[in-house]
Structure formats: C-alpha cells, structure tokens
Amino acid sequence: MKTVPLGQTGEQVSQFALGCMLMGTLADDESSYAILDRYLDGGGTFLDTANCYAWWPGPPFVGGESERLLGRWLARGRRRDQVFLATKGSAWIRDVDAVRNNPHDPQAASRQYEGAGGDTLRRALDDSLRRLGTDHVDLYYVHVDDRNTPLEETLAALAGLVEAGKIRYVGWSNVRTWRLERIRQLADRYGWPAPVALQQQHSYLRPRPGADTLSIVDDEQLDHLRSNDDLTLVAYSPILKGSYDDLAKRRDHHVMESYRGPDADARFAAVAELAAELGVTGNQLVLAWLLHQRDPRFVTLFGPRTPEQYAAALPALDLTLSDEHLARLTAAGA
C-alpha cells in the first residue's frame, strides 16, 4: 500500500486510510476486527476515528463506541506499534437526546458540540486515550472548528498536550480556509504546533455554486493546499456514501445536497462511461482517481461497514489510470 508524506513532519502515512467511524455500532466486533486485520495485513497503517463516533445509529449509542472497539482490537492483537492512530475532539454531543428529539433540525447537533476549549480538549483527550487503551495518539484533530472559543486558547491547549507526549501531531477538520490560515499564523507567532493534516470532505464531484463548503474542499482550499505542502489533506466521504453506484442514494441521500446540478450529472455520466470501459464500478474508479491525484497529493479515507464493502474497494488500489483517462475525468462537467 502506497504512502504519502504527512506535511513536512518526515512521517509517511498510508495513502489509503481506514475510517473506523461505524465500528462498534453498525459494524459489529467480528466484522470490524476482520476489516482492521485485513487492512494491516495488506500494508495499511493509518486508522481514523473520533470521540463522538458514533451516536447517530440510535440508542443505546452515545459516542465513544468506535474508540472502545479499537481499544479492544489493539489489546487483542497487540498492534499499537503498527498503526498511525488518529482521533478527534470538539464534536462530542453533550445531550444526545436533545438531538434525537429534533430529527428535522439540521443545526440541532452543532448546538450540542462541546467545543474546543482548553479544559474540554484536555478532558476529551484523556477520555479518548482511556477508551483506546493507549498513552498517546499520533494525530489529534479539532473535529469541528469552534468559533466560540479563542483560537489562542485551543492552540495553547493542544501545544500542552503535544509537550505532555499525549499527541504527536495536530490536525483540523471542518474548517474554512481563512480560519485555517489564521490558525497557522497564530501557531507561527507563538511557537505552537501548527496543523499538519486537514480533514475535509472531498470527492470527484464538485460542490454546486452557492453550496455551504465549510466541510467540503473547494477551489480556494485546493489552491491553499498546493501552496502549503506542510499541510496534508485527508479526504473523507470520497465516494459520497456509494452514490457513484447507487441511483437511490444519488437521488435521495442528504450527502448529495451540496452537489446536485448539471455539473454533478455530467460527472456521474463520465464516471459511468469510463467505469464501463475499464470493467470496474463507479466507486472503484473514483477511489482510483483520487489516489492518482498529485497536485496536491493527499490521503483518501475510506470507511467500510462490512468486510465485503472493504473488499469491494481494494481493486481501486491496483487500477492504473492513463493520462488520457485522467484528462477525460478532469474535463468532464457542465
């Protein structure tokens, strides 16, 4: 499995990272262990989770389930030294019932995020380490940018956690480019650890004009990444919940709200045409397209729920796209 640099840290991480969001909830222990074992046995090392994963499958889940599952798996196989382990804080839900009782309010969850205050992050990380059964994580993200807390407070707290040896590197997620640059400037001014990883939603489809791109990579953010190679993109939801092969999801899934329109239709058509020529699925083709990107290079984060879903993604790792294939896909759109 290929690797890419993590910023300018000197660290090499798997270009194909394993998202563990649904492990311990929709993915039971046996399925999760099978996926994790196959990923590591195939040369992968980069595991991604968060403290809030995953409350949304419903009762009795409230968050922490993915970290606990990983803790059980790490203890079972004694493989902590074989993985690059990432988790996140700031999006823990303080009152899960308040969110579940407002299923039609898109802002209900965000009002319940515990945020990125210094004391909050220190406690949240200690809780994550306890669930994971380890004394440190390799990468710790601010999961959702918190504008209600001074950045100086958040960055100082993260610096203290790095100094204490509880985290090695800092990342940020779900953040606009101007805020990211402000974070970098403050880190430089005060000598605090700057983010080396940016986790955002990124796929072959492009956001529609006017879409809210807080969590989605847009042209400005790509340009920022090209100019700052000390920051590595970790692209989540690369196949948009499987929409490239599922017409129902393409039509109905909420993940498509930021993409629907003529440009998305044209790009779906380009994927379907080339996938048929190459004898692969649309999802496999899009994963391969992402893994072929070089400007900038980034990590593609894939989060299967079953061993079968994981196996279905693996052909993308061996799929070689020619310059002509890449040019066709790049040129497609309205």
* Catalytic center residues: 53
**Could you report how far apart the first and last alpha carbons of the chain are, in Å?**
35
- The burial class, CB within 10 Å (0-12 / 13-18 / 19+), for 56 is middle
Determine the Cα–Cα distance for residues 286 and 294; give it in Å rounded to an integer: 15
Closest CA to 90 of 209, 161, 172, 6: 172
Joined tokens for residue 55: 């409350």
Say which residues have a Cβ less than 8 Å from residue 74's Cβ, sequence separation at least 6.
80, 83, 132, 133, 134
Contact of 67 with 38, CB cutoff 8 Å:
no
Instruction: Scan for tokens 């700057």, then name that residue.
Output: 194
Query: Is the separation of the CB atoms in 143 and 90 below 8 Å?
Result: yes
Rounded to whole angstroms, how far apart are CA atoms 298 and 165?
A: 26
- The helix-helix angle for 118-132 and 151-163 (nearest 10°) equals 40
Q: Which of 201, 204, 213 is nearest to 292 (CA)?
A: 204
Amino acid in the structure at residue 26: L
- The radius of gyration of the chain from alpha carbons, rounded to an integer in Å, stands at 19
Q: Which residues neighbour 321 within 8 Å (Cβ) at sequence distance 6 or greater? A: 288, 289, 292, 329
